[in-house]
Amino acid sequence: MRIIEQKINYQLNKYPAVKRVIKCAYQLGMYAISPKIKSEGNIVRISPDEKGEYFFGYYDKSPWDAGMRYVICMRAEDTWSEPDPIGTADILLIDVQNGNSVRKVATTHTWNVQQGCMAQWLGPDFSKRILYNDMREGKYCSVILDVETGEERVLPIPVYTVSTDGKTALSLDFSRLHNLRLGYGYAALPEVTKGIALPKTTAVWKMDIETGEVVDLLKYIDFANFHPRHEMQEVGSIHKVNHLMLSPNGKRFIVLYRWFCGHRKYTRLVTCNVDGTDMYVLNDDDMVSHCYWKNDEKIIAFENKHGSGPGYYLMKDKTREYKHLWKELCVDGHPSYSPDGKLVVTDNYPDRTRIASVRIMRDNQIEVVARVFAPFRYDNDTRCDLHPRWSRDGTKICFDAAFEGHRGLYVVDIKA
């Protein structure tokens, strides 16, 4: 059944509006005849049970501070109407050692429903200072905030990924991302490259967090001219980049380079030195989505490998070496390794009965630790992905969910 669904989904990608209607009708029908599940697992809500939408953001960073006491959380009024809302959202700290009490520490003017405002604890100590994206004086920026003193420092560009030592950040065009991938960019400022299929402008910036110095790292044409394929050269082919992630040692980064030919989407997984040199195409099999550095050399990704099909693959950077992991797990999700590198956590998009799951994998074992219902109000570009994230000691998983009727922040203690 799943294979049939995937083939139909692939064909319907050519007709997005039709796909949404058929998908909704199919899930409504399957939900009507299936057992009703709200949630299953050792799930504890840590966000307030009061008016508002509570969430963290993406899967590639931990919301806990180094002391495992405070958890970053965002609060907004509406996360189901617009994927990239124009307006404000609050940044909160949840004290999990004091009855989950909440303290507002900041307000952001740049956020979306999938990745929030990139709020995160700043290394190397991951305590006292948080970094988040905002808009000041009519420009996108990022802010370093001391949550104890309230002192802040404004940096000249927003961030997408930050090195673990807190010294380097990479960024991209959040306005272009808004227009080409709803739910991941910012809508407050117009896109200067709008209508240009292959801009000659900067695609990736590098920022020195300590000095604020910004360097133009790579242009869109740098990606398009690197081992070009004929689909890239088609008239009207639209190009973008997304999902930057620095390696643990901060020396290299991954980036998804995507181009669209009509309704057909192609994706390359590219790795590169942090100075923009030594670019390498790690995967060129048309479809690759969510990735994560296991260490400084190996990367896990969900992709559709030619010859072996969709699944999770562990690849070695700058080589053709790869291993197909958990071959029975062929649905897309957001994977990440535990701090000790022994476990992987991932999720899946809501299935035909609107149930999403959190899974933990070790060697050849797969364990479902949580299952939650996804309300129909949260769908398509405003869906509530679980985006599971590890605690810094590797004992807990935090995820977003809406099974109680609104977005909330939940924790599973895997020791229990």
In a domain, 15, yes or no: no
Please tell me the predicted confidence (pLDDT) of residue 27: 75
How confident is the model at residue 415, as a pLDDT? 85
Q: Closest Cα partner for 71 from 334, 358, 398?
A: 398
Q: 414 in a domain, yes or no?
A: no
Q: Domain for residue 17, yes or no? A: no
Which residue, 67, 71, 177, is CA-closest to 115?
177
**Token couple for 185:** 């960019």
CA-to-CA dists, residue 264 to 14, 383, 413, angstroms: 7, 22, 41
How distant, in Å, are the alpha carbons of 58, 80, 178, 380 from that of 83?
14, 7, 9, 9
In a domain, 145, yes or no: yes
> Which of 106, 80, 84, 82 is CA-nearest to residue 93?
106
Task: Give me the CATH number covering residue 57.
Answer: 2.130.10
Output the pLDDT for position 13: 57
User: Encoding tokens for residue 114?
Assistant: 């999938």
**116 is a domain residue:** yes
In a domain, 140, yes or no: yes
Structural domain count, the chain: 1
Residue 196 falls inside a structural domain: yes
pLDDT by 10s per residue, the chain, length 416 = 555 555 555 555 555 666 666 767 777 776 666 777 899 999 999 999 989 999 999 999 999 999 999 999 999 999 999 999 999 999 999 999 999 999 999 999 999 999 999 999 999 999 999 999 999 999 999 999 999 999 999 999 999 999 999 999 999 999 999 999 999 999 999 999 999 999 999 999 999 999 999 999 999 999 999 999 999 989 899 999 999 999 999 999 999 999 999 889 999 999 999 999 999 999 999 999 999 999 999 999 999 999 999 999 999 999 999 999 999 999 999 999 999 999 999 999 999 999 999 999 999 899 999 999 999 999 999 999 999 999 999 999 999 999 999 999 999 999 87
375, part of any domain? no
248: domain range?
53-344
pLDDT the model gives residue 148: 97
How many Cβ atoms from other residues are within 10 Å of residue 233's Cβ? 12
Stated pTM of the model: 0.93
